[in-house]
Structure 1
Amino acid sequence: MVTVKYYDSPLGLIFLAADDTGLIGLWFEGQKYFAQTLTRNYQTGSTPILESAVRWLRVYFAGEKPSFTPRLHLIGTDCQIAVWKRLLAIPYGTTATYGEIGKQVAAERTGFRPSPQAVGGMVSQNPISIIIPSHRVVPANGSLTGYAGGVIQRARLLMLEKTDMKPLLIPPSLSALLPLEAA
């Protein structure tokens, strides 16, 4: 049985879903691909897996690097899962490009040579936002486009991690919207 709950983060409501194996989803309310891995059979409540995810989020939104990862249950194609697992290796406070992720996954998987665009598609469908840090993957030109949670959320997450934002392309119209509100 899948259990769901909401977490009220400094960036807005986050919807969490877990089954008996692990966390299957973590989405910003209304983001692209919202709840795509969620079945129709679910209940609202809490489980040890959901509470572990909430603890992780509390540490993260306090501006600290969590020292643990909640148990995850990735649901996707073999290629998607390989890319999502690779995202877990991107260090806190840094970024990687879609091309770099593709090359790293290709080095680990025989016969898998995804283009940066294919990697981008798989990254954008990451069902466990933030914990699997798709916000840390940017195009080679440093633009902040393409994040399922939105450009502002991506920038705020990177700023929370104290990522060097100088090499990234932030549209001037967004600059005033970026400071993260105090939790």
Structure 2
Amino acid sequence: MTTTVYALVDSPCGPLTLVARDGALAGLYMTDHRHRPPLESFGARVEPDGLPALAEVSEQLSAYFAGGLTRFDLPLAAVGTPFQRRVWSALNDIPYGETVSYGRLAASLGQPGASRAVGLANGKNPISIIVPCHRVVGANGSLTGYGGGLERKRWLLGLEGGLCRPTLI
């Protein structure tokens, strides 16, 4: 039987909902997150320190927002199609503080003509910030859609580029 629970944590980019499934992180959603499943699908609410997996997520997020962590090391349990999972895996290869275009990401997957499909998969990433979908930009470097909103995307990229102070949005 699958056990799914969630916790709410504060962050400099607003409240975050962390969803754990069988001890691994299955979701990280921001307020008004596009493609956010209904709250009742997240199971019971727990305190972040009440479950080791969520406590570790919370600690690593705090270190990231403080500028002391550039790569997360957490068990993940994102649910998606095989193509979506390939895209989400490739997102983890984008270095901290850098960006790539949808086209370049598609080419890295061996599918140079699939930039729109990559964009759709990127937008459905259920584990924002930790699986860094905010590091994907338009072909001309413009900030394009982001599930948590363009203001948060700009803020996250600024944080990683040393341009933002960790204060609440």
Q: TM-score, normalised by structure 2?
A: 0.88
**SS of residue paired to 1:9:** coil
Contact 2:102 2:119 in 1 (8 A): yes
**What is the 5 A alignment of 1:24-173?**
24-35=26-37, 40=41, 42-45=43-46, 46-66=50-70, 68-106=72-110, 115-162=114-161
Residues in 1 aligned to 2:140 and 2:20: alpha-carbon distance in whole angstroms:
36
Residues in 2 aligned to 1:131 and 1:60: alpha-carbon distance in whole angstroms:
9
2:15 paired residue number: 13
Displacement over 6 Å in runs of 4+: none
Contact 2:4 2:21 in 1 (8 A): yes
Deviation at 1:182, TM superposition (A): 3.0
Contact 2:16 2:29 in 1 (8 A): yes
Question: Percent same amino acid at aligned positions?
Answer: 37
Residues in 1 aligned to 2:159 and 2:127: alpha-carbon distance in whole angstroms:
18
* Number of aligned residue pairs: 163
1:182 paired residue number: 167
Structure 1 unmatched runs, 5+: 107-111, 165-178
Structure 2 unmatched runs, 5+: none
Q: TM-score, normalised by structure 1?
A: 0.81
- Letter paired with 1:131: I
**SS of residue paired to 2:109:** helix
- Over the aligned positions, Cα root-mean-square deviation in angstroms equals 2.1
